[in-house]
Structure 1
Amino acid sequence: MISIWKDIENKKFSNIYLLFGKESFFIKETKRKLLENVLTEEEMDFNFSSYDLEETPIELTLEDAETLPFLGERRLVFLHNPIFLTAEKSKDKAEKMEHHLKKLEKYLEEPAPFSVIVFIAPYEKLDERKKLTKLLKKKATVLEAKKLNEQELKKWIVEIAKRNEIEMSNEAIEQLLILAGTDLLQLTNEVEKLSLYASNTGKIDVEMVQKLTSRSLEQDIFSIVDRILKRKIDEALRIYYDLLKQKEEPIKILAIIASQFRLIYQVKELSRRGYGQPQIAGAIKVHPFRVKLAAGQARDFSEQELMRIIDLLAQCDYEMKTSSMKKEMIIEMLLFKLHRS
């Protein structure tokens, strides 16, 4: 992936790219690099096109790709949502769209030498049984934008830090994942910021990560739950009061607390049934790193305790919708009850 980006930055372009997968950061970053390097600003108006293949037939987009560039050397064509590469069901409007795929097959065999055509397929997987899929993967430079597992995320963080000539300890990397989550864009931004701060020393440590990392609401809720587990109610309340100062809605805070405890319960129950953490992540469709953290928290609860907490959360939700008591106070009382659980 990074090698593909380096080639683009060095003006070594393929005539055909295939970007597929659910990790939007990789797709957006590749598109950005292509836009910045294939065309100049002056050429953009004349030689860049973007199509949605759920609304435009492929043969029209190929006509564009085969048109000589105007006032420039290349054309750049983005083709979004090539649903015909998958086994997924199309939307209603796409079902009415007929694509002459034989023309696409012919184009792939002999692409226009002056065009860079980019298929952008935001799908988990393509239908490998299809002749067209096989041909496209053979002829194109392929970037699979898949979600990274924990080890791959750590390697990614190390690479970003190294690019900035910064070292980062394993403890600091672990802490960053806990505080910032697994979103690649946020992780990249945080490492860039930390690298700038550490430019004098050349090293990022745990203390620096704890001090400077921007926390998402979900990560702050995780911290609240973690403080409750450690019987540190004062710290849990401090995080909660900070969220209120940031104008976070109590009902939203409650929803995320409930979501975290449901996750803990699901992980505990599936572990009891013999599922491994990767299997659990696949079954409940969350990142494996979140499963790992939830598994650590689940060890501090019995199944009965978790069920009682889930009941408390349901009662709290009911009170928020029916009681005249201030919503902020309802959650404060909930935190004290969780502390005593």
Structure 2
Amino acid sequence: MDEVLKIINDLKAGTIKPIYFLMGEEPYYIDKLTEYIENNILSEDEKGFNQTVIYGRDATIEDIVSNAKRYPMMAERQVVVVREAQELSRTIDKLESYAENPQPTTVLVVAYKYKTLDKRKKLVKLIAKNGVLFESKKLYENQVGTWIQRLLQGRGYSIEPKANAMLVEFLGNDLSRISNELDKLQIILPKGHTITPKDIEYNIGFSKDFNVFELQNAIGSKDQLKAYKIAQYFADNPKDNPLVVTVSLVFGFFVKLLKYHGLKDKDPRAAAPVLGVNPFFMKDYEVAIKNYPMKKVSSIVASLREIDVKSKGVGANSLSNHDLLKEMLVKIFN
């Protein structure tokens, strides 16, 4: 995110490079940088003659170079944007000669999503020398919560830890999807608002009472009635609560609990980063570690491996989601 802000600040300051090669597994920042350049380098009057969008599946490197070498019309520069450039991965090295001597009055933006160039290649070195080479890496899920906080802070909002964790849990590390959902909330909620689990439930559709965090809490505190109620809800709503995901998350909870048992320093503030847990949820682990001795946790982890295999359809063709969820809880609580 800091690198993205630096590129945008440089553009605002008038430090404009002739090539922006945007590559990587995370499309969110590639899209944002591409949109920013499209919207801000040229005036509306200049765009008609001087802004060209090319799609990788419909063009060749020769087409791109030909467009990039044109001179702008009645403007200081032109912008050439290549979307879906990964479609040209087999011939992308042909861009070498242009990257070695790019047209100074052209801003060439290459959106190379889901892939990266081999950094040992001459093309990479030429782009880095004469332009901007940006790699957009996927965030790990334990980094997404901080990303959400920073994004909302920049937009004038804040978010409660549980609401933040709900977004990460249900949307994973798909930054574009998370951003789209936050856009919807911004339309409804006033600036300065702190987003709550209720806001998430009412406006995005995730239940604040029947979700994996509440299931985790019920299991950790040995609240069997609550756990079975949530399991029933999951069984009745399998599309919103896939069994494979539920089992995986419960398995992850107990693996972290096993790791927690093995820590010498069990202070929640010290343990949270080691376990990769939002500090807000450490209270659940503090309760669970008292309810589940290490030997029991090891046994549960082994049982959950079996349930995980069954949840993927191996050796459990006749068992329903409800039966497997019930089996999972029986093995945990007994």
- State TM-score, norm by structure 1: 0.65
Tell me how far apart the structure 1 counterparts of residues 131 and 61 of structure 2 sit (CA, whole Å): 17
In structure 1, C-alpha distance between the alignment counterparts of 2:66 and 2:218, rounded to whole Å:
61
Query: Structure 1 residue 132 and structure 2 residue 132: aligned?
Result: no
Distance across 1 between alignment mates of 2:315 and 2:325: 13
Query: Alignment partner for residue 56 of structure 2, among 52, 57, 72?
Result: 52
Does residue 303 of structure 1 match 2:298?
Answer: yes
**Could you say which residue in structure 2 is the equivalent of 1:106?**
100
Shift of 1:49: 3.2
Q: Could you tell me which residue of structure 1 aligns to residue 136 of structure 2? A: 145
Return the alpha-carbon distance in structure 1 between the equivalents of residues 45 and 260 of structure 2: 54
Q: How does 1:195-214 map to 2 (within 5 A)?
A: 195=186, 198-199=189-190, 202-204=192-194, 206=196, 208=198, 211-212=201-202, 214=204
What's the CA shift string for 1:175-226, capped at 9, x where partnerless? 65456544323433444455555527x2416555565574679x94465345
**d(CA) in 2 for partners of 1:203, 1:180:** 21
Q: 8 Å contact 2:307–2:324 — kept in the other structure?
A: no
Q: Counterpart amino acid of 1:104?
A: Y
Shift in CA distance, 138/331, structure 1 to aligned 2, threshold 3 Å: same
Mapped to 2, the partners of 1:253 and 1:159 lie a distance apart of: 30
Q: How does 1:55-74 map to 2 (within 5 A)?
A: 57-68=60-71, 74=78
Letter paired with 2:125: K
220-229 or 13-22, larger mean C-alpha shift: 220-229
Is residue 118–residue 124 contact of structure 2 (8 Å, CA) maintained in 1?
A: yes
* Distance in 2 (alpha carbons) for counterparts of 1:125 and 1:306: 37
Q: Which residue of 2 aligns with 1:36?
A: 39
Provide the residue aligned with 1:228 in structure 2.
219
Structure 2 SS opposite 1:333: helix
Post-superposition offset of 1:231: 2.7
Provide the residue aligned with 1:81 in structure 2: 86
Conserved 8 A contact 1:20-1:121: yes
Question: What secondary structure does 2:101 align onto?
Answer: helix
CA displacement at 1:146 relative to structure 2? 2.2
Cα distance, 1:272 vs structure 2: 9.9
Matched, 1:16 2:39: no
Question: Which amino acid letter does the alignment assign opposite residue 304 of structure 2?
Answer: I
CA distance in 2, matches of 1:67, 1:242: 61
Deviation at 1:44, TM superposition (A): 6.5
What is the TM-score with the length of structure 2 in the denominator? 0.66
Q: 1:184 aligns with which of 154, 159, 175?
A: 175
Note closer, same or farther for the CA distance 1:194–1:5 as it changes in structure 2 (3 Å cut).
Answer: same
Q: What does residue 327 of structure 2 align with?
A: 334
- 1:255 maps to what in 2? 244
Q: Unaligned stretches of 5+ in structure 1?
A: 84-89, 275-287
Structure 2 CA distance for aligned equivalents of residues 131 and 122 of structure 1: 20
Q: Which amino acid aligns with 2:327?
A: L
Aligned counterpart for 1:156 among listed residues 147, 170, 173 = 147
Q: Secondary structure at the match of 1:147?
A: coil
- 2:80 match: secondary structure: strand
Residue 307 of structure 1: how far off its partner (Å): 0.9
| Residue of structure 1 equivalent to 2:269 | none
CA contact (8 A) 2:232 2:322 kept: no
Classify 1:273/1:125 alpha carbon distance in 2 versus 1 (closer, same or farther; 3 Å).
Answer: farther
Taking a change above 3 Å as real, the CA distance of residues 154 and 63 of structure 1, as seen in their structure-2 partners, is: same
Q: Is the 2:251–2:304 Cα contact (8 Å) retained in structure 1?
A: no
Q: Please state whether the residue corresponding to 1:17 is helix, strand or coil.
A: strand
Root-mean-square deviation (Å):
4.8
> d(CA) in 2 for partners of 1:221 and 1:45?
53
Question: Using the alignment, how far apart are the partners of 1:193 and 1:98 within structure 2?
Answer: 38
CA contact (8 A) 1:19 1:142 kept: yes
Q: Which residue of 1 aligns with 2:267?
A: none
